[in-house]
Amino acid sequence: MKMILKTALLAVFLIPCAWGDETEFQALLAAKAELERASQMLHEQAKVMETLRKSIAEQQGRIDRIQAAMAPTPGVEQNDGLVPADSVTPISTTALTLTALRTPTPVIAHPTDVPKSDPPRVVAAAKIARPPEQRPWHEKYSLRGYSQFRYNRLFSTNGLLACEQCDRSVGLNNGFFIRRARFILSGDVTDKIYMYFQPDFATSSGNLNFAQVRDLYFDVAFDRKKEFRVRVGQSKIPFGFENLQSSQNRLSLDRADPLNSSHANERDLGAFFYWAPAPVRRRFTDLVNSGLKGSGDYGVFGIGVYNGQNANRPEGNNNLHTVGRVTYPFKLKGGQIIEPGVQAYTGRFAVTSDQRGAAVGGPVNFSDQRAALSLVVYPQPLGFQAEYNVGTGPRFNPSTKRIEQSGLQGGYAQAMYLRKMYGQTFIPFARYQYYSGGKKQELDARSYLVRDLELGLEWQPNPFLELVGLYVRADRTFEDSRALNNRQKGNLFRIQMQLNY
């Protein structure tokens, strides 16, 4: 039956062709041939589109490899500001792919006409991710800064209460004060050399507000991820969490005396080696950028040598100081980050003639050694911070009016609570500090006994403005050849406005 039906259908088709017009038959054959050619062209065009798709995928892979190779390990303002993130311009590879795919594709008659060069849009985008040394200067470097304005005379009960190293506007005959006015120029000279320059225009020497170098150093990396690097120039000494923490991020208006007495302005000229794995470097950066008051990226391990006479002062003897530090920010399962640390330094410090009062005796060179422990629990939302150090150094003896080798010790403990609401940040905090020892950089290596309690609140209406109110209850004994038996107690309320730009 099936065979009969097939034969009938074939007959229906062939009979008209056989008995009909021959011209009509030829037209049918030509149409059939045209359909076959169109089908072949469509097949070839499909091959062309597949070739283009593979070409775009290859270019996408090439861009991803370039970006991965040049992707910097984020930095932190490493000093007064944030560990500098490397200034490589980020590229959105997804955007590049979509742009390339959305670009109209011309109809190509034959697969051999497929262009062998890179698609123009992809090539132009890939050129953006060129090495730092090939970019113009305005793409390699960034300029930022911050300024702090203070008033310390509210509810002051004792004008003789002062702190030379802390804030020279505390005490008699002081009003509004520019505590810091800093600009930070930083960036990548090459993919393995980083530059950081920070002057301060609010330093004082007799008259107020003149420029002075705070930081000027270069980081030379040994690897592309910058896990191993050497820092050369004037920079912070890796001793103490709070000393390394930028004044832009610190809660209390001044660093605590116990560890800050180790180095005036926390800096000196020297060379330091730092190491930290890339993920930990990113964590150091995040602790600053997220507002958790991190110290910045000074490595998991740091070691170095420096002059030892403090920043912007010439070397006083032929002995270099040596310092070492180990710290690690552990992240717990709940997200809480805890950072313990240990550090120490040793050297010989010279109390030169310009640092001595008339007829003050004692040797010139002193053993200068300290060791310290640090513990930081970042405020998420409750936080805690404590440091303690012991050591030996020069200290004025009021009974003999001589500068003598003496032991020192002291530390501080601080609790804080971070709360964000309505787009604003509030951080109440409390700190107590104790210190017994000398301050080698002050007149006669001034002798100190400090017991201070501080209660404060930092308010950040937005990322560019910070306001701090701080109540201080102080008990300080600070003695030198010009002020013997000098114990001052009192209370005061301090306010600060900080602008970040």
**Confidence label for 128 from pLDDT (cuts 50, 70 and 90):** low
CB distance 450 to 439 below 8 Å = no
Digit-coded pLDDT (tens) for 165-182: 999 899 988 899 999 999
Residue 240's nearest CA partner among 298, 157, 291 is 298
Residues whose CB falls within 8 Å of the CB of residue 413, separated by 6 or more in sequence, listed in order: 384, 385, 386, 431, 432
2 falls in which pLDDT band (50, 70, 90)?
very low
| 355 vs 336: CA distance, rounded Å | 46
**Is 270 part of any domain?**
yes
The DSSP code sequence of 315-348 is --SS--EEEEEEE--EE-TTS-EEEEEEEEEEEE
338-382 residue pLDDT tens? 999 999 999 999 999 999 998 899 999 999 999 999 999 999 999
Q: What pLDDT score was predicted for residue 31?
A: 66
Q: What is the domain count for the chain?
A: 1
pLDDT above 50 for 311: yes
In a domain, 325, yes or no: yes
- CATH code for position 355: 2.40.160.10
Q: Answer yes or no: is 123 within a domain.
A: no
Any residues with CB less than 8 A from the CB of 362 and at least 6 apart, and which?
A: 351, 394, 402, 403, 404
Provide the pLDDT for residue 22: 55
Find, among 447, 456, 455, 463, the residue nearest to 500 by Cα.
463
**Mean pLDDT computed over every residue of the chain:** 85
Residues forming beta bridges with residue 471, ordered by sequence position: 455, 493
Label residue 68 by pLDDT band (50, 70, 90). low
- For residue 156, tell me if it sits in a domain: yes
- Per-residue pLDDT, averaged over 431-451, amounts to 97
Mean pLDDT of 308-312: 92
189 in a domain, yes or no? yes
**Domain-embedded: residue 64:** no
**Cα gap 81→396, rounded to integer Å:** 35
pLDDT of 217 strictly over 70: yes
- pLDDT of residue 120 exceeding 50: no
Residue 154, burial from CB neighbour count under 10 angstroms (0-12, 13-18, 19+): exposed
Q: Is the backbone peptide bond immediately before 106 cis, with ω within 30 degrees of 0? A: no
What range does the domain containing 302 cover? 135-500
38 within some domain: no
The reported pLDDT for the residue numbered 27 is 64
Residue 493 CB neighbours (<10 A): 16
Q: How far apart are CA 456 and CA 252, in angstroms?
A: 7
449-477: per-residue pLDDT in tens? 999 999 999 999 999 999 999 999 999 99
Give the 3-state secondary structure of residue 133: helix
pLDDT tier at 25, thresholds 50, 70, 90? low
For residue 244, the SS3 value is: helix
| Residue percentage of the chain with pLDDT more than 70 | 81
In a domain, residue 3? The reply is: no
Task: Return the percentage of the chain with pLDDT > 90, whole number.
Answer: 66
